Chain A
Amino acid sequence: MAHWYIDALDARAGMGLATYRDADLNDATVDLGKPAVFIGPPFFQAESVASRAIGFAATRGSFQLGLFSGGEERGGEVAFSTLQGVCEFIRRVYVSSGGGDTDSGISPAPVVPNPETGGAEPPQPPVNGGSVARGMLSFVSQMSEDIASISQLTLSSSEPKQLDRREGKYMESLLVTLGPLTDVDALLAYGSAVLIEELLLRIPNSSGDRGAWMKSVMSLGQVLSRLGLLESVFQGPEFHRLTQLATDIDRRFNLFNHFIREFDTALPVLLGLGSYPWWHPRSVPLFWFAQHACWGAGDPLDGLSSFPIPSVAAKHVRLNPETASVRDLLSVFLANPRVLEGEKVSPPEAPMIVAFVLLASMLIVSAGGASLARIDGTRIGEDLRKDLVRDAIVWMDSQIPGYLFHRDIEEYIRSASQLRYA
């Protein structure tokens, strides 16, 4: 019986050629005369090609021949019931593969951990992880149940299964699912504090490597300032600990010629937020000095690539603990939000991961808008930040899976971040 099958696939490149046909790749008599479609980034819209020959030609380079499950029926080929399903599969594989971009060298890498620093207790997440993290866990749990429901059959059963996530019970948006966002500030402040600490702890011992590190720290300061989150961090429970860490680093590595004498000044100066002689984040309104912290109109993925995530978060989503960045994490999460789930019902890493992907999404959707830096710490600033969170969740909703597949295909999508050319 004819279905949509993949003739050639370069998963990391997000490129594939597919045909509506019977399973025949194990057949020595395969006929290349049928018309085929090409699917590729960045839009993943199917485009007709004259024959299957170009797909087979592609398998002499970086494309694999077909997509196989190892089953007996249909020669083990994986079938898709619709062309839209094939396009969505390739899009998700492509997004997932971005989780390996740092290790592949195509994306700038964050500074690596310094084995001589660290050891302190990590920042504490909000009570019970916060309602947004709990809501997200509930959301992906539902996804897992649905995937399980379509995984009862073998991949080579008579009718391939896929679920359209924009239909039926999924008509409810992610924004509605996550609820009123009343405690989202605490989650974002927590995520910001974790990122600051992780980056500070990675200060290189070699002065020659410190330039890239300092640029990353300043970039993080600019991002948090732009998102209007500095007040939450500086007035939050982690401020003194982060300040102590920043002060210790300045004293140990003599970053600022010992000019910083005020204890509370070390952290904002390191984050590139103010002049070191007289800045004091708890006595001077933040927005007076916001002009020091304007994130440029660059590529948000550049900044996100330079922010390392703690090893516990990286391991949870199967990324390299030494090199994983927020940008890598965002890739694997958007391709397969079920990475949030672990072996426990409520994994402790979940609030951290949700905070990171939310911060990253906020940066992306805010790239063209006004910076919130100048009204940080004000009532209206809080309102605008909440609007930004809503925009970010709506954007995330449009990026996460449109179709769900059999668990073996879902696992293939998830493992795409491990693919390397060399």
Chain B
Amino acid sequence: MAGTSGWLDRRKKMLSKIDDSSIQSYRSADAELVSSVMNGFRPDSREKVPQSGMRVVCNISSAHIAAVLTGESRKDPKPYKNRYDLASQRKDPQAVGARVPTPQSLREKIDSVLASLTSTSDGKEFYYAAIELNGSGIRYFGDLCMVLKPEETDPNTLVLFKNSYDLSRSPIREEVFVNGSIDMAKAIDKAKELQGVWPDDVIEMAACKLLDGANPTERRITSGTVSAGVLFDEDYLEVIRLESFGASSLEEIRLSAQDVAVEGRVAERLRSGPAPSFAELQWRHRRRGAERIATQVRVSTRVVATAGRTR
């Protein structure tokens, strides 16, 4: 799978559809900005700034990070685990909460669709990640954003323009579901329209994502807009890695400024009262533990104070 999926053409086509030439020139300039910041260039040159530009990230809870960061030293072949890895560890599959619906669940069907794009038999070796610029990842998956070193993701790794589960919700759902069931052939065709590869297609995919939602105004976007546009809440570019990773693959761990502010509030409440809840204390305690372990395994942590620029 090479970067032949035509994202550059798609971006050009999006620009050509803008009738007003003035607005079109603004959006073209925006696309150049997207390219510059995604590449991690300095504002005044095409020299790359260390630890900036697009990255592959995985979010994880501070409750689990110790296992991932210490996995390599414990000779765990898969320190970061997908659902299949975790399910195979369960000793009591009938416990409340543990049962996975059968026959083939929606997750397995979506994985099968993606398997056809990655030439794998199923999704058991899929490790889902996201493209991030200056932010702290998808917080719904965990409060810690693990940033992979760029070279730790194989070139030509599959990247999707959306969360692959969007195949199962409107409006794509109406295209790929027949009589209430997913039509695999149609779903695969649709997924092909959404596919690209790391790293070759990602910049153009990001440009398309930004231009798709851009206002028709004569006002330039900022690097902060680019960062927020690449990954905002649950809207992101999905990366399907085919291998796990551990601490040695990490460039850094990012913490969101909002979470750090909450940590500060918990500390302030401890000092001045009323006493924080136990859940707040436990959450802060785990996050402090995460930073302590990250230091031990030589992974730096960084607070993302602003998505607009790298600090």
Contacts and interface: CB of A to CB of B under 8 A. Distances in A.
B60 A69 contact: no
Contacts of A300: 270, 281
A10 B266 CA distance: 23
B285 A107 contact: yes
Given A65-B101, A70-B96, A105 B278 contact: no
A33 interface: yes
A280 interface: no
Contacts of B3: none
Interface in B121-153: 123, 126, 128, 138, 140-143
A421 B244 CA distance: 14
Contacts of A301: 281-282, 285
Given A31-B173, A32-B168, A94-B282, A67 B97 contact: yes
Given A53-B169, A56-B107, A104 B67 contact: yes
A315 interface: no
B70 A60 contact: no
Interface in B161-186: 163-166, 168-170, 173, 177, 180-182
B244 to A, nearest CB: 11
B21 interface: no
A62 B86 contact: yes
A30 B106 contact: yes
A282 B283 CA distance: 42
A231 B63 CA distance: 39
Contact of A59 (B89, B107, B177, B277): B107
Given A50-B234, A95-B278, A104-B66, A58 B141 contact: yes
Most chain A beta carbons < 10 A, residue from B98, B138, B141: B141
A66 B271 contact: no
10 contacts: A15-B61, A53-B169, A54-B165, A60-B111, A94-B282, A106-B286, A106-B290, A367-B270, A412-B96, A422-B74
Interface of B: 58, 60-68, 70-71, 74, 76, 79, 81-83, 86, 89, 94-101, 103-107, 109, 111, 123, 126, 128, 138, 140-143, 163-166, 168-170, 173, 177, 180-182, 233-234, 238, 262, 266, 269-273, 275, 277-286, 288-290, 293
Given A25-B101, A53-B163, A54-B165, 17 more contacts: A10-B63, A14-B279, A29-B181, A49-B233, A54-B138, A57-B165, A61-B58, A61-B60, A62-B60, A62-B142, A68-B96, A367-B270, A367-B275, A368-B269, A399-B279, A412-B96, A421-B64
10 closest A-B pairs by beta carbon, nearest first, are A13-B61, A29-B180, A42-B283, A105-B66, A54-B234, A422-B67, A53-B165, A32-B169, A421-B64, A421-B67
